[in-house]
Amino acid sequence: MLGVKTTCKDRWRQVLSEADRIETKHILTLESAISVNQTDEMKGLFVQLVVPHKIHDTFKPEQKRWLFSVVDFINLVKEKQKGL
39-60 pLDDT, tens per residue?
999 999 999 999 999 999 999 9
Compute the average pLDDT of residues 3-31.
88
Which residues touch 70 (CB under 8 Å, ≥6 apart)?
Answer: 28, 50, 51, 52, 53
Q: What is the value of pTM for the model shown?
A: 0.91
User: How many CA atoms within 13 Å lie on the side-chain side of 34?
Assistant: 30
Q: Is the pLDDT of residue 14 over 80?
A: yes
**Under DSSP, is residue 21 helix (H, G, I), strand (E, B) or coil?**
coil
Residue 81: predicted pLDDT: 87
Residue 25 — pLDDT band, cuts 50, 70, 90? very high
Q: Which long-range contacts (CB under 8 A, 24 or more apart) does 51-57 make?
A: 55/30
